[in-house]
Amino acid sequence: MAHPNIIQLSEFNVTQKIIESLSNVCTRAVLFSVKNESKDATQIADELKISLSTVYKTLSSLEDLALIEVHKFIFSNEGKKIKQYRSRIGKVEITLNDTEPVLHLYPNKKSTQPN
C-alpha cells in the first residue's frame, strides 16, 4: 500500500496521531536526525545513544504516519539490504484554533534530492 502524501494526511484526520507522536522527545530526535541526510537505524541509534529496538519502533511509527520514507537501500559487506531513512517533513506548525489543534506539515525539500 502506498503511503499517503503530506496533503492527504490532514484529509484522513490523523492530525491527533501526528501531534501525539511529535510530542515524544525520542520521536522528534529520530525525525530531526534524518531531516538533512538519510541514515540507517544503526546510525541513528549510535548518534542518539538510544537502543536499536527503540529506533526501529520509532521509525515504523513515523513511516506509518508518512513522516519519513525509505530514501534508498544500501548493501552491507555481507550483502544485507539496509534501509536508509529520510524525513519527508521539513517543518511542522501546530496552532490552536478554538478547541481543535491545526497541523501544518511542510515537505522536506531535501527528501527529493538523492545522495
pLDDT at 84: 95
Within a domain: 2:
no
Domain count, the chain: 1
For 5, 19, 105, the CA distances from 30, given in Å and listed in that order, are: 20, 15, 17
State which residues form the domain around 34.
7-112
CATH number of the CATH domain containing 25: 1.10.10.10
pLDDT at 115: 43
pLDDT tens per residue across span 57-114: 999 999 999 999 998 898 888 888 999 999 999 999 988 877 778 888 999 986 554 4
Within a domain: 1:
no
pLDDT tens per residue across span 22-68: 999 999 999 999 999 999 999 999 999 999 999 999 999 999 999 99
Rounded Cα–Cα distance for residues 64 and 112 (Å)? 19
**DSSP character at residue 17:** H
**Strand runs labelled E in 9-113:** 68-75, 81-87, 89-97, 100-107
Rounded Cα–Cα distance for residues 23 and 13 (Å)? 17
pLDDT at 2: 60
Pairing of strands 81-87, 89-97: unpaired
Residues 1-30 have a mean pLDDT of 75
pLDDT at 78: 86
pLDDT at 39: 96
